[in-house]
Chain A
């Protein structure tokens, strides 16, 4: 998918993550902050990159502020931000396809 505009999903509450995606010319630029960085930083980064690749996002600036979200929450927030960025979050969401 192509990131068309700035979009955001999630909150800064404990156990949530706030994900912002912005258009970028080429490649993925990731900025990650996490309250559980020392224990889960590598896993969170892998989850973010995997989820983007599942959605076939190739170019994006992605900012994640994680407050100890579980992996499922993190995935959901990334997917939602990406879909919002291309106005695809209202209907016909590809459950089981792009979103697994």
Chain B
């Protein structure tokens, strides 16, 4: 069945009330019944919840075949905890048919690819897939398709009971013996624990894994002891140096800086750029660099930002320190500068993923966003964005909060080079739709800027400010003139991943790629 972004969704996936994507506000006003955890009572006072080993904690929490476990990925590529736990469940305890409910999957969880090959991990639900896991899922090694959800779609699915977490294993930089846990005060500080907090409320069991045990009470805590069954102390929970991976780097590339400069000019040309505006950036090089250029415009107009949202990095903390930003609403910290800024500054706040972006709660922060600046692997002439599959059809990206911030914001700007190597970023049809085109307003590339024709008001703003722009078709033609028109990918029938829109409808599917055989 064709959905609102013209993707053909196989009928066999449309069961148990699953529907195809029907526009960004289709679910507005509908009621749903929230799921609740089956939780154990601890009436008799316990001196401590510390377990000898992760295995002991798993046993206490009733780890079993077919279970679903979750973890947060605040450590990005430096995470040790997810692999540590999977090893215990699968190798030490010999459990099988395991499902993984992750905020992301990357090289830090490479070992999961082996477990998928062996049929020990049979399902994965995540907001991102990179590295070997992406290749393994793309090769069709999971017995059920992976489910890709945005950062807001994930807590929605948890609350709707579409994914029920048996045990959440949450890495914490510090914890006391009762499980009051935090992303600071330890030896591996990652700052905001925004990715983990919501799981602690909805998982049947929560296990805190820390490398720094502190005196009771560890207050203020991001995760409270009232949600925690067990505490495990390990040597190291992660490598903080690997949080700042290449996706989250600060660029000195002149081409990217030029694009960032142009994005800031577009922002400054709109009526939303006024006292108290709000703003979010993604982690790509050029989008992160926009922070620098925005400052000049803010000083020139003598205005301040009411809040900056989402993943937080040093440049935006510096704007806060200069008094240009009133509040930082922080789901994750991309570098140590930001991780040591949160909690030490009064208005640098930690927010969980539901508060950040869940479309099924009564109002998330993304809905109050004026601007969001995001990257893309591909953008097509309908302004649909792909951030999950490479142009070769293999899973290698992360929607994260991309679809949420795009849908909630008043002005969503995508910034990306026109080509990457021989890949045309602007194309006829994206391989996979992760953010629908009706949520995307402006595209800034190194070869020009295009505005979504749905936004005639923004076209007028750019014209009034004398900012040159072209049609997206012109950008596509330029890209193809540089790299050639690619052949269409060929696919097997097998669906390897389902891309859910943030409201839970099906936006697209990823099938197994049929590799090209030359005669």
Contact = CB atoms under 8 A, between A and B. Distances in A.
Given A37-B515, A39-B391, A14 B421 contact: yes
Interface stretch (A21-29, A50-58, A67-75): A67-75
A41 to B, nearest CB: 4
Interface in B322-373: none
Given A39-B392, A40-B487, A42-B487, A70 B515 contact: no
A30 to B, nearest CB: 8
Question: Which size class do A's interface residues fall under?
Answer: 10 to 19
B392 A38 contact: yes
The list of the 9 closest CB pairs from A to B, nearest first, reads A68-B421, A39-B486, A68-B422, A41-B516, A15-B421, A38-B392, A36-B422, A38-B516, A37-B516
Interface string B148-182: 00000000000000000000000000000000000
A32 B486 CA distance: 17
Given A40-B487, A45-B518, 16 more contacts: A14-B421, A15-B422, A36-B391, A36-B392, A36-B423, A37-B515, A39-B392, A39-B422, A39-B423, A40-B422, A40-B484, A40-B486, A42-B487, A68-B423, A69-B422, A70-B483
A38 B423 contact: no
B496 to A, nearest CB: 15
Contacts of A38: 392-393, 487, 489-490, 513, 515-516
Interface residues of B, number: 17
A25 B483 CA distance: 35
A43 interface: yes
Interface of B: 391-393, 421-423, 482-484, 486-487, 489-490, 513, 515-516, 518
Contacts of B489: 38-39
B486 to A, nearest CB: 4
A43 B488 CA distance: 12
Contacts, number: 52
Interface string A1-29: 00000000000001100000000000000
Interface of A: 14-15, 32, 35-43, 45, 67-71
Given A15-B421, A15-B422, A68-B422, A39 B518 contact: no
A42 B488 CA distance: 11
Contacts of B421: 14-15, 35-36, 67-68
A33 to B, nearest CB: 11
Nearest to A16: B421
24 contacts: A15-B422, A32-B518, A35-B392, A36-B391, A36-B423, A36-B486, A38-B393, A38-B489, A38-B490, A38-B513, A38-B515, A38-B516, A39-B391, A39-B392, A39-B422, A39-B489, A40-B484, A41-B487, A45-B518, A68-B421, A68-B423, A69-B422, A70-B482, A71-B484
Contacts of B486: 36, 39-40
A49 to B, nearest CB: 11
A70 B482 CA distance: 8
A70 B518 CA distance: 19
The residue in B482, B483, B489 that gathers the most chain A C-beta atoms within 10 A of its C-beta is B483
Contact of A43 (B391, B484, B513): B484
A45 to B, nearest CB: 6
Contacts of B487: 38-43
A15 B484 CA distance: 14
The residue in B422, B489, B518 that gathers the most chain A C-beta atoms within 10 A of its C-beta is B422
B47 to A, nearest CB: 57
A19 to B, nearest CB: 16
Contacts of B423: 36, 39, 68
Contacts of A68: 421-423
Contacts of B483: 70
A32 B489 CA distance: 18
A31 to B, nearest CB: 10
A42 B422 contact: no
Nearest to A30: B518
B135 to A, nearest CB: 13
Contacts of A37: 392, 515-516
A71 B482 CA distance: 9
A47 B423 CA distance: 17
Contacts of A40: 422, 484, 486-487
A20 B490 CA distance: 29
A83 to B, nearest CB: 24
Contacts of B422: 15, 36, 39-40, 68-70
